[in-house]
Amino acid sequence: MSRKLSQVLEESGLPLHFEAFGEAPAEVADREVKREPGPRAKRLRDLYYQTLSSATNEFPYWYTRGYMALEGEVPVVRRALALKCAFAHLTPTIFPGELLVMGKAHYYRGSFPMPWLSEGYYMAKEDELYQAALDKGSASADEVSQFGAGGGNVTRSFGNVVSIAGKFGIRREEVPALLQVARAWAGKSVDDLGHKYEQMVPGYEVKEAIMKAVVCMFDSGYTLPQGREVINYYYPLQYGFDGLIEMARERKAEVAGRADGDGMTGMNRLYNYEAVIHVLEGVQAWILNYAVEARRLEAKEADPAQKREYAGIAECLEWIAHHPPRTFREAVQLCWTIHVAVLNEDAISGLSPGRLGQVLWPWFEQDLAAGRLTEEEALELLECQRVKFTCIDCFASTGVVGGVLSGNTFNNLSLGGLTADGRPACNRLEELILEAGIRCVTTQPTLSVLYDDRLPEPFLLHAVECVKTGTGYPAFMNNRVAIEFLLGQYGQEGMTLDEARAVAIGGCLETSPCSWLPLTLASNSGRAPDGGTYLIPGGSGQPTSVGVHFISLPKILELVLFDGVDQRTDLRVFPAHGRPLSTYPELFDQVKAYFARAVEVLSLTNNIQHDIWRKNNMAIFNSLLKPDCLENGHLINELGYRYNATHNVETCGTVNLVNSLAALKKLVYGDRVVSLDEMREALRENFGFKRADEVGSYSLADQEKRAEGDVYDRIHYLCLTAPKYGNDDPYPDSILREWEEWLCAMCRDYESLNAAPYYPCQISVSTHAPMGAATSATPDGRLAGTTFADASMSAYPGTDREGPYALFTSATCWDHTRSQNSQLNLKIHPSAVRGVEGARKLLELSRSYMRKGGFHIQYNVVDSRMLREAQRIPEEHRDLVVRVAGFTQYWVEIGKPIQDEVIARTEYEGV
Amino acid sequence: MSYHLDCRNYAPLDVAKGMCHVRKEIILADGTSCELFERLPKCKHCQHYTPGSEAYLGVCQAEATRAMTYPDLAGVTCEAFTWAVS
């Protein structure tokens, strides 16, 4: 029988410990804080648990039909009319018990493909999908229910349902039409056109090889071209849709035929305003279709209470389709409607509601004061809102949805922070948002506290109480660090300190530029709110995480060690460097050189993809929401947003790179106990172990020795015992600092299509699993195919032996304000933070990291044994959530490599 | 024979099941309809619809463009939908 690495090390006197600062109690411990949502939200959440991820062809069909009928129209108007056609034809569905209504599609958890972005998947799978559609299976309740083990994922076809990408189900009777629609976009999609032109970049073959070898995870321009940004609800809240249409009509008349000094794009304003009007009319029709449906249900409903609720829904929708909201409920509904409209306009992950508790505060405050609302009613709405956000699915390819997103959509709601004049910005409504997050545990929206020392202690302790539910939210983000980053990146576009204080998190943890806008409660509301002007925050920047999507740093090192050749595929990725690598500086220099080459070619090709996107697929609805598009008449494609310097270079595997460099520096160049060739051979032979995919586990401890694998034991032992990041050890920490200082500077040498410098983004999302799977063994002792360390500042599992404060010192050896973010995840046993004293310890722990200058910290408060149990019996853990990397996800809906990685993370038994 | 997913009282939760607005219970999309069945407007019930030569495809004759369509496309929001005379 094969021996596992954990056994081998135990025999060598080097036991692998994944528990630190004590031992876990003998009994498996559950989370301390557990509450239940109100009956309405509970029913709706239970429905979600039973619901499959479902795709429909309705939106793509009507969009394509509208678009194809308008050959020759001005591109922005053509797109607007296609969107209008699609929105106006969506079938409205309202479910009994819903207070908040409307969704992406007519299913409870619906979504749809956008072949105008990329149709290649459907063309490649055409025969397979078509056959699946024609093969009628036997539909049965039993077959449907067995998907419980994968949550709502439709992992295979059954009955009249065809599985797409192992995630979404689509009715077989829709498949042939979907394939027809996809075919219509062949040669016209952003993917196809982008590919045509990106090949004109000199050295394009390097990019092709980079993608094949999984040095980079995915292209940016046609996969998720928007998102990782903060939405702005302000304009419809302030003016209503009728008001915005009127505004656009007035501006259209003012700019028609006028360049106004801008010979390049001045004339475009006319078409842009025309497009804005069309899209707004489409969104209005969509809302009113739901109102009609509510009236239909009201008329048929026998139950008086449900009948009244349908009437209330209809009244709300009939009003907000035209006017600014009068009440808290209408404001909540309108914000949700706007959110879904943006999500339907483009393939988006990480569309964050921003500081929603501060946006909705005016209605909450005034309704409460006027006796129109109670806190319990507000809480019920907020719980329903959580279920609605959790129902959002993003339809993209398997690689993107599974490999990067883990099925999550990253709608991050920010709390706290500062006001424009520097006072704590948290409010009572934000406390209710936290409470809704505690009572109604769901994956969306995830929560982030914009931490500032001035935030009141009770608010912060409420946040800590929420963390103790084990939901993984809220994360703590350093407000000061975020503001300094924004001023550095957007100062050239005029950002001031006051404006920087409007910051919120877009997506997982992407620091995003925002602005304050003056909201006056509408005088035309007819229900006479008490008036008053409020400064409310909202997003004002382009998507902040587009550009170079995830470069695998350990893979770069592998290519350096093997002269540019990928060890998994034998493919040459980079031209041979031919250097002997006889010194450590030479090695590090080559790592930087290959990384820079990757960034160069990927930034150029992604610039082209995004340029193609913005020519034919520009955001119109999202644009009109963002300052200052309505004022200046320019949309996202003409840099109408207030902040446009938003492209980034994302990295993955930082800690494995640093630990590997530390091992090489010490063993090969310092102590000289291993030659570089010996190291290469050991890596090539995976230190004598099988590959992770052979073993079926992606965790280091579970890896199994090959029968003849002992010859590499010495080298492997030396690699595993070499200095490791996370222990306040200057040896690896100095390598991290040198890397970060170089990285943060070098990204700014590259120019985005918006003629602005790139910046680094250091989060892993879920890429550390597939990128680890594609990477050979690394000199830090990690074995081939196993998952990298998560995030960017988390220690590799089991290697942080000196406690959390030592880890914090290591993590903050560099200046986090130079990067859009950094990410640190900690797993803590529930017993370590039990009770009031435990809560205070957890707060102090977070505070300590923030004061040291760390940007982000988040916690999994969980007993690892519970996760192993859930892996063994998933059907009994449908509601179990864990924090992955910047997002919370249902355990049963994440892939095994990430499950293994979360289990393996060091578990702190004390803090 | 009619199925739940062709009924106006059926609110689709997902591709396999939905909620009956009248009975307030979850039912299978492909289950046989009951006495409360009320036909949902779909292209296949529209007088402008002509079946195509391939399975699950047809043509909409409502506009001069004669756009491709498919029999199970819902017609609830289609301005041209007209019940076919059966």
In tens, the pLDDT along A310-358 reads 999 999 999 999 999 999 999 999 999 999 999 999 999 999 999 999 9
Is there a contact between A170 and A57 (Cβ–Cβ < 8 Å)? yes
| Mean of pLDDT values over A164-183 | 93
Q: How many CB pairs under 8 A join A and B?
A: 114
Angle formed at CA A511 by CA A510 and CA A515, multiple of 5 degrees? 130
B73 versus A135: the higher-pLDDT residue is B73
pLDDT reported for residue A146 = 34
Contacts of A516 (CB under 8 A, 6+ apart): A420, A498, A499, A502, A535, A536, A537
**pLDDT tens digits along A432-443:** 999 999 999 999
Interface residue A131 vs chain B (CB under 8 A): no
pLDDT reported for residue A151 = 81
- Residues 10-39 on A with a CB inside 8 Å of B are none
Q: In 3D, which of A435, A439, A351 has the Cα closest to residue A392?
A: A351
Which residue has 């909705």 as its token pair? A360
Contact between A174 and B70 using a beta-carbon 8 Å cutoff: yes
pLDDT reported for residue A911 = 84
pLDDT reported for residue A412 = 96
Task: Characterize A134-155 residue by residue with b for buried, 16 or more Cβ atoms within 10 angstroms of its Cβ, and e for exposed.
Answer: eeeeebeeeebeebeebbbbbb
β-strand partners of A572: A565
Q: Where are the beta strands (DSSP E) in A333-392?
A: 348-352
Residue A189 has pLDDT above 60, yes or no: yes
Where is A889: in which H helix or E strand? strand A888-890
Is there a contact between A797 and A655 (Cβ–Cβ < 8 Å)? no
| Mean of pLDDT values over A212-237 | 94
For A210, phi and psi rounded to 5 degrees?
A: -60, -40
Residue A528 has pLDDT above 60, yes or no: no
Residue of B nearest to A158 (CA): B16
Tell me the domain boundaries of chain B: 1-40, 41-86
CA distances from A825 to A105, A388, A790, A808, B10 (A): 34, 27, 8, 11, 44
A870 versus A282: the higher-pLDDT residue is A282
Which residues of chain A have a CB within 8 Å of the CB of B21?
96, 297, 300-301
3-state secondary structure labels for all residues of A481-493? HHHHHHHHHHHHH
Quote the CA–CA distance of A650 and A652 in Å, as a whole number.
7
β-strand partners of A506: A510
Interface residue A139 vs chain B (CB under 8 A): yes
Residue A136 has pLDDT above 60, yes or no: no
Mean pLDDT, each 10-residue run in order, chain B (86 residues):
96 97 96 96 98 96 95 98 90
Quote the CA–CA distance of A38 and A99 in Å, as a whole number.
13
**pLDDT tens digits along A238-258:** 999 999 999 999 999 999 999
Q: How far is B78 from chain A (nearest CA, A)?
A: 6
- Residues 171-210 on A with a CB inside 8 Å of B are 171-177, 180
pLDDT reported for residue A670 = 98
Tell me which CATH code domain B41-86 carries: 2.20.70.100
Q: Which one of B15, B43, B60 makes the best mutation probe of the A interface by having the most chain A beta carbons within 10 Å?
A: B15
Q: How far is A160 from chain B (nearest CA, A)?
A: 8
A454 versus A153: the higher-pLDDT residue is A454
Complex ipTM, two decimals?
0.99
CA distances from A464 to A431, A439, A837, A850 (A): 12, 14, 11, 15
| Mean of pLDDT values over A633-659 | 97
Quote the CA–CA distance of A106 and B13 in Å, as a whole number.
8
CA distances from A301 to A122, A308, A735 (A): 42, 9, 68
| Mean of pLDDT values over A650-660 | 97
A160 versus A402: the higher-pLDDT residue is A160
Q: Which amino acid, residue A514?
A: C
Catalytically annotated residues of A:
508, 510
3-state secondary structure labels for all residues of chain B? CCEHHHECCEEECCCCEEEECCCCCEEECCCECCCCCCECCEHHHECCEEECCCCCCEEECCCCCCCEECCCCECCCCCCCCECCC
Residue A896 has pLDDT above 70, yes or no: yes
- As a whole number, the mean pLDDT across chain A is 93
Q: Where are the beta strands (DSSP E) in A426-545?
A: 446-451, 475-478, 504-506, 510-512, 514-520, 533-539
Tell me which CATH code domain B1-40 carries: 2.20.70.100
Q: Which amino acid, residue B16?
A: A
Of A378-382, A404-408, A644-648, A761-765, the poorest mean pLDDT is in A404-408
Contact between A160 and B29 using a beta-carbon 8 Å cutoff: yes
| Mean of pLDDT values over A575-594 | 98
CA distances from A551 to A113, A202, A210, A789, A820 (A): 26, 20, 9, 14, 16
Contacts of A183 (CB under 8 A, 6+ apart): A119, A123
| Mean of pLDDT values over A67-78 | 97
Which residues of chain B have a CB within 8 Å of the CB of A95?
11, 13, 19
Contact between A93 and B11 using a beta-carbon 8 Å cutoff: yes
Quote the CA–CA distance of A583 and A591 in Å, as a whole number.
13
Residue A591 has pLDDT above 60, yes or no: yes
| Mean of pLDDT values over A539-544 | 96
pLDDT reported for residue A527 = 47
Residue of B nearest to A67 (CA): B67
Residue A667 has pLDDT above 50, yes or no: yes
Residue A531 has pLDDT above 80, yes or no: no
pLDDT reported for residue A24 = 85
pLDDT reported for residue A140 = 36
- What pTM does this model have? 0.96
pLDDT reported for residue A28 = 86
pLDDT reported for residue A404 = 64
pLDDT reported for residue A900 = 86
Which residues of chain B have a CB within 8 Å of the CB of A180?
57, 68
Residue A876 has pLDDT above 90, yes or no: no
Is residue A560 exposed (0-12), middle (13-18) or buried (19+ Cβ within 10 Å)?
A: buried
pLDDT reported for residue A568 = 95
- Residues 263-282 on A with a CB inside 8 Å of B are none
**pLDDT tens digits along A205-220:** 999 999 999 999 888 8
Residue A134 has pLDDT above 90, yes or no: no
| Mean of pLDDT values over A262-279 | 98
Q: Which amino acid, residue A540?
A: S
| Mean of pLDDT values over A491-506 | 98
DSSP-assigned letter for residue A418: B
Contacts of A99 (CB under 8 A, 6+ apart): A40, A309, A313, A329, A380, A381, A384
| Mean of pLDDT values over A113-117 | 95
Contact between A170 and B15 using a beta-carbon 8 Å cutoff: yes
Residues comprising chain B, all counted: 86
